[in-house]
Amino acid sequence: MDVADAQRTLNKLYDELEKYQNLNRAFMNSQQMIAIDEVMASIHMRMKNIQFNFNQGYLFQ
């Protein structure tokens, strides 16, 4: 993965995470809320991994 590809991926993940964060939970049951939280945690972990690779210099220029 190169730096430009990683940045595009980070931007897409950020947009996707923002969509989940903006969902109205008033009409969700507990199982749906848990499922959404799991998806958000997964997206957040993927973002952290990419950012870690940025900071460590593992991405190719």
Which tens digits make up the pLDDT trace of 4-33? Answer: 898 999 999 999 999 999 999 999 999 999
Indicate the pTM of the whole model.
0.85
Mean pLDDT of 30-40: 97
Could you tell me which residues come within 8 angstroms of residue 41 by beta carbon, excluding any fewer than 6 positions away?
Answer: none
Which tokens hold the place of 37? Answer: 């939280």
Q: What is the pLDDT of residue 46?
A: 96
Average pLDDT of every residue of the chain: 91
Q: What is the pLDDT of residue 50?
A: 93
Tokens of 28: 């969700």
pLDDT at position 17, please? 97
